[in-house]
Amino acid sequence: MNPNVCYLVPTSGGGLVFPTELPEYEYSLGAFYLFGTPRNKLLDNFTFHAVHNDKVLSTDLQRYRDSKSFYEVSVADVGRFVFHAEPLPSKRIYAGTVAQFKGSRAVRRLRSLRVSDLEDACRMSSFYFVGYTPRINGPEVS
């Protein structure tokens, strides 16, 4: 079980990979995904990587008001963001080469409830979510 919100892209074969694992000259629009337990249960907290003023942050995505499907992140001096963890119609398997994810299945996709809040945070505070990818060097600020 991976406690990170991951940024993944679909492949032509139906699996999910990190953007750097796509074949050369192949592009795909990605999304933020959550991995579940073998019984598809979700953790109460996930690490959600973000960038603020060019520094990688490790933010805490927490279950929102004991909801099964909603999570929130609060970032000091930036704002509070609520996300819906949408169930996927079919579980999407990780099809890439990163060992810690082999055999993992994404069970939910995150969708912001207020995209305008994300846009405002980016424009006014130089803040945006990036999710986990193997290129994350590790958070500079926790």
Residue 137 lies in a domain: no
CA-based angle 83:43:65, to the nearest 5? 50
pLDDT band at 129, cuts 50/70/90?
A: very high
- Chain-centre distance of CA 29, in angstroms? 14
> Beta partners for 47?
4, 60
pLDDT digit string (tens) for 79-117?
A: 999 999 998 877 788 999 988 888 888 889 999 999 999
Residue 115 lies in a domain: yes
- List the domain range (segments joined by +) for residue 83: 6-129
Residue 139 lies in a domain: no
pLDDT digit string (tens) for 28-72?
A: 889 999 987 666 678 889 999 999 999 999 999 999 988 889 999
- Percent of all residues in the chain with a pLDDT value above 90, rounded to a whole number: 51
Residue 80 lies in a domain: yes
Residue 47 lies in a domain: yes
Residue 52 lies in a domain: yes
The number of folded domains in the chain is 1
Residue 140 lies in a domain: no
